[in-house]
C-alpha cells in the first residue's frame, strides 16, 4: 500500500472492484477525478486502478480490505485521513440475498449489517473532518428501491437500505448549510453479478419491470451528485409505484416476489 502525502483531492469508493462501484469509479475518472478504490483482497482492484491511470491519466489508488470487520473500516479511515484529501465519499459497498430467516447463516446476517449499515455510517463519521476541510465535498450513499417497503425473505436487506435512506436524509439536513453535500441513490435491480442476475430472473415480471443498466445508473449518480441532488431516483416509475401503493399492498406483493426467488429451483 502506497503511503504518501499529497495536495491532490480524491474520491473514495467502497466496493469498487465490480458492479456499480466499478462503473462509478470509471465515470469519476472520465471526469478527471482521482480515485481511491476499496475492495476485498484478491479481487484485482490494483489492475483496475492501473487501467484507470493509463486510460484517463488521473491517479487511482487501490486499498484492499474486508470492510465487514469494523476495525478494518477504522484502519481505512485512519490511512485515508493521514495521507489524502477526500472531497467525494461514495459508500457503495453492500450485500444482499433472499432466504428464509431461519435458513440464513448468522455469519451472513452479521456481514450484511456490518457492510450495509455499520461500514457506511462509521466511514462517513470518520471521514467527515477530512471532507469538511475541502472547499466543497460530496457524500453519496447507495441505498435501493428496497428501502421503500419492508420485504419478507429480504428482511434485513430492505431494513438496512431503509436505514441508509434515513441516515442520508438526516445527515443532509444536519449538513445542509455546510460545505458537505449528502445524497442518497435508490437503484432498482441491476444485473451486476451472476448471483444477482439469477435472483432477478427468478423474480418474474416485477424484477424485469424495475431492471436498470448499472453503467447508466453510475453516470446518473455522478452527474446528479455533482449537481447537489439530495435524492437520486434512477427509475422514477418504480419510485412512483412504491410511493403510491399502500404498505398493506406493496409489502405482501414484494414478499411474494422474494418468495419466488427462494422457491424457484428448490
Contacts to ligand NAP by CB under 6 A = 15-21, 39-40, 43, 66-68, 92-96, 115, 142, 144, 187, 189-190, 192-193, 196
Distance of alpha carbon 210 from alpha carbon 206, whole angstroms: 7
Residues 6+ apart with CB under 8 A from 46: 62, 64
Q: How far is the CB of 201 from ligand NAP (least distance, A)?
A: 12
Work out whether strand 85-91 and strand 137-142 pair parallel, antiparallel, or are unpaired: parallel
Counts for the chain of helices (H) and strands (E), in that order: 11, 7
> Least CB distance from residue 40 to ligand NAP, whole Å?
3
Min dist CB 113 to ligand NAP, Å, is 12
**Which cell numbers hold the place of 60?**
487511482
* Nearest distance in Å: CB 49, ligand NAP: 13
CA distance 167 to 44: 31
For the bound state, the minimum distance from the C-beta of residue 135 to ligand NAP, rounded and expressed in Å, comes to: 28
130 or 143: CB nearest ligand NAP: 143
Nearest alpha carbon to residue 41 among 68, 23, 3: 68
Task: Choose between 8 and 169: whose C-beta lies nearer to ligand NAP.
Answer: 169
**What region does 257 belong to: left with phi over 0, alpha with psi -120 to 50, or beta?**
alpha
Q: For residues 16 and 171, which CB has a smaller minimum distance to ligand NAP in the complex?
A: 16
Amino acid at each position: 500500500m502506497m503511503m504518501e502525502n499529497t495536495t491532490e483531492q480524491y474520491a473514495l469508493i467502497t466496493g469498487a472492484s465490480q458492479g456499480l462501484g466499478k462503473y462509478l469509479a470509471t465515470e469519476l475518472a472520465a471526469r478527471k477525478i482521482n480515485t481511491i478504490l476499496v475492495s476485498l483482497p484478491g479481487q484485482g482492484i490494483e489492475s483496475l486502478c492501473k487501467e484507470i491511470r493509463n486510460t484517463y491519466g488521473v491517479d487511482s489508488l487501490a486499498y484492499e480490505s474486508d470492510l465487514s470487520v469494523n476495525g478494518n473500516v477504522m484502519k481505512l479511515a485512519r490511512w485515508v485521513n493521514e495521507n489524502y484529501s477526500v472531497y467525494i465519499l461514495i459508500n457503495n459497498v453492500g450485500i444482499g440475498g433472499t432466504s428464509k430467516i431461519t435458513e440464513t447463516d448468522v455469519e451472513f446476517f452479521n456481514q450484511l449489517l456490518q457492510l450495509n449499515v455499520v461500514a457506511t455510517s462509521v466511514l462517513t463519521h470518520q471521514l467527515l473532518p477530512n471532507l469538511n476541510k475541502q472547499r466543497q465535498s460530496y457524500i453519496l450513499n447507495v441505498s435501493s428501491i428496497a428501502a421503500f417497503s419492508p420485504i419478507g425473505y429480504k428482511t434485513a436487506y430492505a431494513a438496512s437500505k431503509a436505514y441508509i435512506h434515513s441516515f442520508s436524509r438526516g445527515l443532509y439536513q444536519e449538513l445542509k448549510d455546510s460545505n458537505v453535500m449528502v445524497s442518497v441513490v435508490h437503484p432498482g435491480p441491476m444485473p451486476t453479478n451472476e448471483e444477482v442476475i439469477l435472483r432477478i430472473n427468478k423474480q418474474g415480471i416485477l424484477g424485469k419491470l424495475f431492471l436498470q443498466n448499472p453503467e447508466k445508473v453510475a453516470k446518473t449518480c455522478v452527474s446528479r451528485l455533482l449537481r447537489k441532488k439530495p435524492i437520486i431516483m434512477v427509475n422514477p416509475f418504480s419510485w412512483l409505484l412504491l410511493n403510491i401503493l399502500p404498505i398493506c399492498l406493496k409489502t405482501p406483493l414484494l414478499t411474494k416476489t422474494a418468495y419466488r426467488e427462494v422457491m424457484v429451483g428448490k
